[in-house]
Structure 1
Amino acid sequence: MTPSRTLATAGRVLLQIRNDPRTVALLLVVPSLLIGLVAWIFDETDVFDRIGPAMLALFPFIVMFLVTSIATLRERRSGTLERLLSMPLGRGDFILGYTVAFGLLAVLQTAIAVGFATVVCGLEIEESIVLLFVVAIADALLGTALGLLASAFARTEFQVVQFMPVLVFPQILLGGIFLPRDQLPDVLEVIGDWLPLSHAIDALTAVSTGSEDAAYIWLRVLVIGCWIVGAVIVGSLTLRRRTP
């Protein structure tokens, strides 16, 4: 992998996305709107204070997964990836370039979502807002990395959507949003404890409520980081030049 080629790939991706206003709106605006909708639904209760951190983990994660996976797959189906890889550009440069590009978008998306949730929706934060921002960025990057991984195996956009029941829905169901994981059946609790979105939800909840110390939160961020690195590596190793 060469830094100049990776950055050139990231720049090309960002330029393409800039020329697609609908994708920009989906990435930057939709997660905040969904968080606002949840806050509005529970406006007269304290429910949003309890589930707000989970929503801050959930919506950016899903949006980044969908946009990243479909955009990457489109490069392969259109033949762009095959042309790029015929040049001095490796699979690692391609995947890492996409990671950098969507990582930058994830930072911007997270800044908007965190600001909207705390300032507009009134989500109360007991710990540092900076720590909340760091965890939320890691969560959005997780969605990006898993999206890249899914795109390496999918052949069509429809198959990308089919990966959601495999990579996304179990994490939502077992992440502690609907029921605390310690109340799940033992096997499901163990599975849920290993899933990366569970760690993002735990960390964001801990930052919001102040129920855990900083070491606990940073450990969760480290676990998420390991998942991100692993997904990017596997995605780069399994990426095909084009879709048959």
Structure 2
Amino acid sequence: MTLSRTFTTAGRVLAQIRHDPRTIGLLVVVPSLLIGLVAWIFTDTDVFSGIGPAMIALFPFIVMFLVTSIATLRERRSGTLERLLSMPLGKGDFILGYALAFGLLAVVQTAVAVSFAVWVCGLEISGSIWLLFAVAVADALLGTALGLLASAFARTEFQVVQFMPVLVFPQILLGGIFIPRDQLPAVLEAISEWLPLSYAIDALQAVAADSESTAWVVGKLLVIGAWIVGSIVVGSITLRRRTP
């Protein structure tokens, strides 16, 4: 695994996406539109101020998971991955290149989503806006990493969608969006402690309310970072050259 091959892969992915306006719109525009829709629904209430941080975690996470997993799977199904791996390109170079490319897109996506939520939708942030941005970027990167992991096991785009009830929906239900996690049944609360999206939602809500210290938020970021690294490593190990 070399940095030059990783950067070359990332550049190739970004060049492909640059010529795909629909994917760019899905990545950059759709999360902000969904956040705006939620804010509009609760425009005459104070509900959005409570769930707004969770929406910043939720929509970019889902979008990055879907786009990353499907894009990576298509490389394998089209035979591109097999041709690339026949050259001096390792699985680690391929996965890291994709992670880097979509990581850069995640930063852009997060910047747009956070800016839209705060300055257009009026989400009040009592803590540091930069710390909020850092957590939101980590959350989007988490979606990217889990998407790469799912693509290593899926054979078709439909199977990628089938992974959502396994990898995504439980995290949404148990992440504290609908009910605080400490009010969940004991077994479900224990399960939620092992789900990375829970940490992103907790951290975003804490920053928005300025209810926890910076060290506490950084601790949550470290857990999310461990999930990101672990997902990328497992994805690179289990990645198949082509779909049978």
TM-score scaled by length of structure 2 = 1.00
Q: Kindly provide the amino acid, as one letter, of the partner of residue 61 in structure 2.
A: F
Q: Kindly provide the amino acid, as one letter, of the partner of residue 92 in structure 1.
A: G
Please say if 1:156 is aligned against 2:156: yes
Please say if 1:107 is aligned against 2:84: no
- Percent identity reads 80
Q: Distance in 2 between matches of 1:100 and 1:208?
A: 28
After superposition, residues 101-140 of structure 1 pair within 5 angstroms as 101-140=101-140
Shift of 1:219: 0.5
Shift of 1:86: 0.1
Q: Which residue of 1 aligns with 2:199?
A: 199
Q: Which residue of 2 aligns with 1:212?
A: 212
Q: Distance in 1 between matches of 2:177 and 2:130?
A: 23
Shift of 1:51: 0.1
Shift of 1:194: 1.4
Shift of 1:137: 0.2
Please say if 1:10 is aligned against 2:10: yes
Q: Distance in 2 between matches of 1:132 and 1:26?
A: 22
Q: Distance in 2 between matches of 1:227 and 1:191?
A: 15
After superposition, residues 43-192 of structure 1 pair within 5 angstroms as 43-192=43-192
What's the secondary structure of 1:207's corresponding residue? helix
What's the secondary structure of 2:43's corresponding residue? coil
Shift of 1:103: 0.1
Q: Kindly provide the amino acid, as one letter, of the partner of residue 160 in structure 1.
A: V
Q: Distance in 2 between matches of 1:66 and 1:109?
A: 14
RMSD of aligned alpha carbons: 0.4
State the Cα deviation string for residues 55-81 of structure 1 (Å, max 9, x = none): 000000000000000000000000000
Q: Distance in 1 between matches of 2:6 and 2:180?
A: 41
Q: Distance in 1 between matches of 2:157 and 2:240?
A: 15
Number of equivalenced pairs: 244
Q: Kindly provide the amino acid, as one letter, of the partner of residue 232 in structure 1.
A: I
Shift of 1:193: 1.3
Q: Kindly provide the amino acid, as one letter, of the partner of residue 21 in structure 1.
A: P
Q: Distance in 1 between matches of 2:184 and 2:126?
A: 27
What's the secondary structure of 2:155's corresponding residue? coil
What's the secondary structure of 2:193's corresponding residue? helix
Please say if 1:24 is aligned against 2:61: no
Q: Distance in 2 between matches of 1:127 and 1:92?
A: 37
Shift of 1:22: 0.2
Shift of 1:221: 0.5
State the Cα deviation string for residues 71-125 of structure 1 (Å, max 9, x = none): 0000000000000000000000000000000000000000000000000000111
Q: Which residue of 2 aligns with 1:34?
A: 34
- Deviating beyond 6 angstroms after TM superposition, the runs of 4 or more aligned structure 1 residues are none
Q: Kindly provide the amino acid, as one letter, of the partner of residue 196 in structure 1.
A: P
Q: Kindly provide the amino acid, as one letter, of the partner of residue 90 in structure 2.
A: G
Shift of 1:41: 0.2
